[in-house]
A = this chain, B = another copy of it.
Amino acid sequence: MPTIIGHNYIAGQRSAAGNIIVNSVDASTGENLPYSFYQATLEEVDAAAKAAAAVYPTYRNLSAERRAQFLDAIADELDLLGDAFVALVCRETALPAARIQGERGRTSGQMRLFAKVLRRGDFYGARIDQALPDRQPLPRPDLRQYRIGLGPVAVFGASNFPLAFSTAGGDTASALAAGCPVVFKAHSGHMATAELVADAIIRAAEKTAMPAGVFNMIYGGGVGEALVKHPAIQAVGFTGSLKGGRALCDMAAARPQPIPVFAEMSSINPVILLPEALEVRAESVARDLTASVVQGCGQFCTNPGLVIGIRSPQFSAFVQQVAGLMEDQPAQTMLNAGTLSSYGKGLQKLLAHPGIQHLAGSPQQGNQARPQLFKADVGLLLDGDEVLQEEVFGPTTVFVEVADHAQLNAALNALHGQLTATIIGEPADFERFGELTTLLEQKVGRILLNGYPTGVEVCDSMVHGGPYPATSDARGTSVGTLAIDRFLRPVCFQNYPDSLLPDALKAANPLGISRLVNGQATREAQ
């Protein structure tokens, strides 16, 4: 088994100044693993934030090519994490090995994609307005704009993607790409995993001669608050619960200097079943939808938690079909005891509600999550009952039957912000329900047509964001290359001689990037 030291990562060194020890747990048995970790002291949190701040001026000023080499090196190191690593992640998370192998590739691929963004250069947002010395009544000076990293970023990873949304995940990748040093708060659910990934990042930093302190990591409960409140921290990336995310947002907003937080939090990801689709392919929809609900034990931010259909014999039959399929789904081990406990509490709320009917699933008990199916009165949606707006994280979903087209629109209008919405329909449906797209894009970050939301492609066009409470800022995304925008800010140079300008803005365009020059996009020298 891999060697785990359990010390915090500060400025390229390991540090264990505290005396609170936290343990890693086998997710399947609940037993302690032989890995213990030193919770960071307040002084260590301070040192980690200061290390990031100290290195920021150097790191952000490295060329984009140097930062790209760093990200590529991290990707290579991640790919080299072998079978023992995969086995360890599986023990800490109860996720299957194939999933972890896939997620490793996704995580290294994500790093390489941000390296591409750095080389492509559009992240600079370079803009040039050349001087107009003869303009009347006043001349225009030469003005040039590009974007720089905000400063040190605090990142809080998620339990459900121990690689892709964690230590070297999308928030870390986009922050490092933007030129922002990172202080990562290791997730308590996979601390040994975090250590091995952090080691990979540190090896990559050393191989590419990055300044020590470009990546820091701290362990322990309660250290997050001190981190978010630290004056050196300039932005926060978070993936997790609504309660946790909102608490960080409130702390960040109440600082003497408020800072932006991108928190990806809670989404029930409505799926809308249109009549013609139910008419022609109810069986395959039932199968695919059920698979999406129970995939990975339902532990996805984009898990479909609400399925809406219009009253009809076909919809009634469909509900019965899914109920039958759900009865056949096996119980699965969740990420950790806390997640299982939350799942149980979420089910209790649904079971206790007079407007909600239990359709399928054996009583939740034991140490695994049992898939469940519910049906709720549409009135709960229309009246804004919180029970239907809250995500129940796990293999469960709630059907809602609406009376007609008008009530469908009313129900969708009553939804809070979501990461995704899905429409299952046939061409005839799209004609009849033509306003659905317009309505849904006001509610969500991504709309899928005849697909299922539980796959999130890492690419330029992805939006893994959406209106509150899906995220704390609908203008951002935590997956895809646009994620870098969260950590960049514009700077303008007025009347600067060419020699003093950053390369991205020099007349000769030495980086060969596309720039908006006097209102026209061009790669030409100016």
- Range of interface residues on chain A? 35 or more
In the docked arrangement, what's the CA distance between A412 and B495, Å?
21
Instruction: Kindly state whether residue A120 has any CB partner on chain B within 8 Å.
Output: yes
- Whether a CB of chain B sits under 8 angstroms from the CB of A116 is yes
Report the minimum CB–CB distance from A301 to chain B (whole Å).
14
Please determine whether A140 and B249 come into contact, CB atoms closer than 8 angstroms.
no
CB <8 Å contact, A449 and B495: yes
How distant is A60 from chain B, measured CB to nearest CB, in Å? Answer: 8
* A102 vs B136: C-alpha distance when bound (angstroms): 11
Q: Which stretch (A88-96, A217-225, A322-330, A470-478) binds chain B?
A: A470-478
**CB neighbours of A417 from chain B (8 A):** 257
B145 in contact with A462 (CB, 8 Å): yes
Question: In the docked arrangement, what's the CA distance between A473 and B451, Å?
Answer: 37
Question: Which residues between 410 and 435 of chain A lie within 8 Å of chain B, taking CB atoms?
Answer: 417, 427, 430
The answer to whether A449 and B253 have CB atoms under 8 Å apart is no
Establish whether residues B457 and A129, one from each chain, have CB atoms under 8 Å apart when the complex forms: yes
> What does the 1/0 interface line of A49-85 toward B look like (CB < 8 Å)?
0000000110001000000000000000000000000
Cβ–Cβ contact B145 & A457, under 8 A? no
CB nearest to A58 among chain B residues: B438
Asked whether A240 is an interface residue with its Cβ less than 8 Å from the other chain, the reply is no
> Closest CB-CB distance, A517 to chain B, in whole Å?
9
Shortest CB distance A330–B (Å): 23
Q: How far is the CB of A125 from chain B (nearest CB, A)?
A: 8
Chain B proximity of A238: nearest CB distance (Å): 14
Contact across chains for A253 and B249 when beta carbons are under 8 A apart: yes
Q: Identify which of A2-10, A350-358, A484-492 touches chain B.
A: A484-492
A127 at the interface (CB under 8 A from B): yes
State whether B145 touches A482 (Cβ < 8 A): yes
Select A461's contact among B128, B465, B488, beta carbons within 8 Å: B128
Which 9 A-B pairs rank lowest in CB-CB distance, beginning with the nearest?
A253-B253, A463-B492, A143-B461, A145-B461, A446-B492, A448-B494, A474-B489, A127-B461, A129-B459
Which B residues touch A492, using CB under 8 A? 445-447, 461-463
Q: Quick check: is A268 within 8 A (CB to CB) of the other chain?
A: no
Contacts of A148 in B (CB 8 A): 441-442
What is the 8 Å Cβ interface bit string for chain A, positions 123-167, against chain B (1 contact, 0 not)? 001011100000001101101110010110000000000000000
